[in-house]
Structure 1
């Protein structure tokens, strides 16, 4: 049986978290709502279906949720050309495949964003998820569960992410999680949310691929 790596994308393989925070800030300002960017950054990793209520309250979600998500997409779209893969992203994916892992990219992003990221890390053709695949995004476990169904691993699996929301989703799916600091979250809080190991960079994680916790 083949072991599976469930790889988060935003903040883990591509450097997008701060772009997302700025795009959300601009989206809220279009409706004269000011949410501090530090608070927005703390919510990045959640899907957009949950973020609005988390940072601005249920009443804003009820009144402006869909409008804000559309405004976020309009603000983020011009930034796509600025997005770059994180150092070691392609090497990690290539090494995992060479070591016979089943690799699936579990993103809650828009499908065309995910497709763009796959090109950036030379991973076109690998199975992947997007927000189109689930009704609930992270920290719900749905994306992890859908990702597992997209590969025929049949063995054990581990989630690799960068946020507390990745940790929560993995825990709810019954899987161990390993995290990167690349999304801007601290090691202590990632461990508090269940990360069994925290790495500063992808190349260090790649060196430990065969020693990752699996379940």
Structure 2
């Protein structure tokens, strides 16, 4: 491929927050598990974990069915927020998080945090990371009506950052599908508890063990990647 034929360079990196920049995946799983139990719904923890990464507007129905969503959805989401608030003091940044954001900005990328978390939780994560001066935009659950794996929150983050196209960095199959529906390649890290094989099958263009490894990734190549066609498939929830 000649330079003239090469696809345009993605100018923005959109970063998921929970499980990607801060080590909160299992705290969210525990919070949801406790919220379900408080309403008399006893789900195995592993099933709850497998749904972390999709938005709370979808998670209840995916795990417990439409009838539970209709009857208890709002109460369960309120319970999850209350339980996570009790755990958030135990959450910490993942190794390399701030360094990677700094490195990406030095490479000339716009960087935005494409979070669908609650505003107070995203604010706390941003405070932990100490990167507020490095990011061009931050989103929360209030910025889009439909959550991952829909692409809405990613589109809002891209627009707010002033970018044209993006590479997405996330930790779940839901991030990969959301990115593909935006037309963006997704780099995945294993910190969300998904296996290498399933992240690759879902369509990640690169799978890394963690953020430190990505400090040495070929971001010039990633900035010209495209998502494989299969990446837009709806991720299964056991």
Please say which structure displays the higher CA radius of gyration. Answer: 2
* Aligned residue among 108, 120, 129 for 1:121: 129
Pairing 1:39–2:59 present: no
CA distance 1:185–1:137, shift in 2 (3 Å) = same
- 2:203 maps to which of 186, 194, 213: 194
How far is the alpha carbon of 1:3 from its aligned partner?
Answer: 1.2
Number of matched pairs: 214
- Runs of 4+ in structure 1 displaced over 3 angstroms? none
In structure 2, the CA distance between the partners of 1:140 and 1:2, relative to structure 1 (3 Å rule), is closer
Q: Which residue of 1 aligns with 2:77?
A: 69
- What does residue 166 of structure 1 align with? 175
Deviations 1:29-49 (A, max 9, x none): 111101111001000001100
For residue 128 of structure 1, give the secondary structure of its aligned residue in structure 2: strand
- In the other structure, the counterpart of 1:84 is 92
Task: State the match for 2:222 in structure 1.
Answer: 212
Equivalent-residue separation in structure 1 for 2:10 and 2:150 (angstroms): 25
Q: Give the TM-score, by structure 2 length.
A: 0.87
5+ long unaligned stretches in structure 1: none
Aligned Cα root-mean-square deviation (Å): 1.3
What SS does the corresponding residue of 2:205 show, helix, strand or coil? strand
Distance 1:105 1:118 in 2: 9
Measure how far apart 1:210 and its partner are.
3.1
Matches within 5 A, 1:17-166: 17-125=25-133, 126=135, 127-154=137-164, 156-166=165-175
Structure 2 alignment gaps of length 5 or more: 1-8, 227-238
TM-score by length of 1: 0.96
Alpha-carbon contact 1:6-1:147 (below 8 Å) kept: yes
